[in-house]
Structure 1
Amino acid sequence: MILLLAKIIVAIMALLHLYFLWLEMFAWTTKAKKVFRQFPEDLFEPTKTLAANQGLYNGFLSAGLIWSLLIEDPTWQVYVALFFLGCVAVAGIYGALTASKKIFTVQALPALLGIALLLAYQML
């Protein structure tokens, strides 16, 4: 049951980071304006390339999380998931400290919960 909950969190985080990829790479000057309302509207176009770069990194996080779900060896599946959830958690904590506290709740907290569940599973 613990492993199933951890995998659900990994899948949700993967989907969330796919959404971030889409938003930052393909919808920065359209949909992102509605999501990032605190960001000055006149800066979306000049920061389009920077946002796309950031979106690409979110895509790598998503790819790693999805990969972890596809690994057949249970030990390596956990190790890879822990690595990528750790990356998400660090990025979320940094984002919360430097950009918006909301990032901690949306990104870091679920990743930390997934890490805790995976570590609890390993201890069984």
Structure 2
Amino acid sequence: MTTFALFLAALVGLEHLGIMFLEMFAGPKTQAKAFDMPFTFVNQEHSQTALSNQGIYNGALGLLIISVLFFFSGSTLLTIMRLLMFFVMIVGTYGGLTATKKIFTLQLLPATVVFVLLFL
């Protein structure tokens, strides 16, 4: 079960890398659709700067989740991964409440599943 949970954790990390690419490199039309934001808002220079900045954080989180799988093992790995999944749960809850409800399904739910599985 732990191996399966760690595989799912890697998928959560890859998801955050995908979010990073959307936030940093996708066009405004794609970003507006992906993040349920008005195109006129996303197309502004300041919004692009904010999205790129947020993309850096999502990329760092994704890389951290994936790199932890390679640099740690045993109970240390489980503890760090539980903390990272808990952090993603907090971020997913906040994003779902403040940005778009899709975040509950796309970020909060997978992290919560992994978090629970890491305790089994």
After TM superposition, which residue ranges in structure 1, 4 or more long, deviate above 6 angstroms?
Answer: none
Alignment of 1:102-117 (within 5 A): 102-117=102-117
Aligned to 2:26: 27
1:44 to 42, 45, 52: 42
TM-score by length of 1: 0.86
Q: Percent identity?
A: 35
Amino acid across the alignment from 1:79: T
Could you tell which deviates more after superposition, 55-64 or 21-30? 21-30
Kindly state the Cα deviation for residue 29 of structure 1 after the two structures are TM-superposed: 2.1
For these two proteins, the number of residue pairs brought into alignment is 118
> Equivalent residue for 1:68?
68
Give the residue type in structure 1 aligned to 2:8: I
Q: 1: CA distance between counterparts of 2:118 and 2:72? A: 16
Write out aligned runs for 1:94-105 (5 A): 94-105=94-105
Return the letter of the residue paired with 1:111: A
Give 1:66 deviation, angstroms.
Answer: 0.5
Distance 2:53 2:65 in 1: 19
Q: For structure 1, which runs of at least 5 residues remain unmatched after alignment?
A: none
Deviation of 1:73 after TM superposition, in Å, equals 2.5
The answer to whether the Cα contact below 8 Å between 1:68 and 1:78 also exists between their aligned partners in 2 is no
Paired letter, 1:103: I
TM-score normalised by structure 2 residue count: 0.89
Once the two structures are TM-superposed, the CA of residue 7 in structure 1 deviates from its matched residue by 1.1
Q: CA deviation at 1:28?
A: 4.4
Q: What do residues 66-116 of structure 1 show as CA deviations (whole Å, max 9, x unaligned)?
A: 022112431111112112111111000111111222211110111011111
Shift in CA distance, 93/119, structure 1 to aligned 2, threshold 3 Å: same
- Say if 2:9 and 2:114, in contact at 8 Å, map to a contact too: yes
C-alpha deviations, 1:33-72, integer Å up to 9, x for none?
Answer: 3423x31111123200000111111011101110221124
